Amino acid sequence: MNCRLLIILVLLFLLPMLACEKTHETPPELESAYHDLLLNLNPNKPGTSINRLEDFRKSCGAYPLAQTVAAKVAQMRAGLEEHADKARKLAALGKVRQAEAIVDDIDRCLSAVDTDALRAEIYLIAARSYLVKKDFAKAAEALESVNKSHLDEKQRREWKTISSKLHSRLHLPTGAENLALVRQRP
């Protein structure tokens, strides 16, 4: 009798565990929607693409596809620094608007703190580039766009150096309040 009771107890515990291990296959229409989404993602707008994937992942629920989507998101997040570098290079070439567009897109999937520092860095790079090219009005405009509260100590020193050089070239007194005067000069 003890043997039968033991078998019954084992079965009572084993059957629910076996039922819980049953995996739910991803429905074909969800798989198809995922592949369509991948085809329509813009590789030049990773922030927007990550957000679209995150929204889709939420709709996947407990299906195995959710893990696949999460892995794709992680892969794309890892590539964000490459896009930040592209923005830096564009800023150095004086293509500040294009650099800003990249930062705006990255901002869609990162915290504002992360992108504010990048945005400040881009304006510093642009200001330095314009100063080298002797385009003082654009250098002053870029320098005015820097939000100094997002600068680290090295960037603060660079801001002061660029500002000093800009003012000494134009024989203006130093100080942020005088940057607007630079743009008014012919």
Three-state helix/strand/coil letters over 18-75: HHHCCCCCCCHHHHHHHHHHHHHCCCCCHHHHHHHHHHHHHHHCCCCHHHHHHHHHHH
Largest CA distance in the chain: 105
DSSP state for residue 182 in the 8-state scheme: H
So what's the pLDDT on residue 147?
A: 81
The CA distance from 71 to 19, in Å, is: 27
So what's the pLDDT on residue 13?
A: 54
Identify the residue whose tokens are 């942020």: 176
Token code pair at residue 127 = 């200001």
So what's the pLDDT on residue 74?
A: 92
So what's the pLDDT on residue 2?
A: 58
So what's the pLDDT on residue 131?
A: 92
CA distances from 55 to 39, 45, 182 (A): 16, 16, 47
So what's the pLDDT on residue 171?
A: 65
So what's the pLDDT on residue 18?
A: 47
* Residue type at position 45: K
Burial of 77 (0-12, 13-18, 19+ CB in 10 A): middle
So what's the pLDDT on residue 21?
A: 45
CB atoms within 10 A of CB 19: 8
Token code pair at residue 77 = 């997040």
So what's the pLDDT on residue 20?
A: 47
So what's the pLDDT on residue 186?
A: 47
Residues 6+ apart with CB under 8 A from 107: 47, 115
pTM: 0.71
* pLDDT tens for the 186 residues of the chain, in order: 555 545 554 445 544 544 444 457 989 999 999 999 999 999 999 999 999 999 999 998 889 999 999 999 999 998 899 999 999 999 999 999 999 999 999 998 876 557 888 899 999 999 999 999 999 989 999 998 888 877 888 888 999 999 888 888 776 655 555 555 544 544
So what's the pLDDT on residue 138?
A: 92
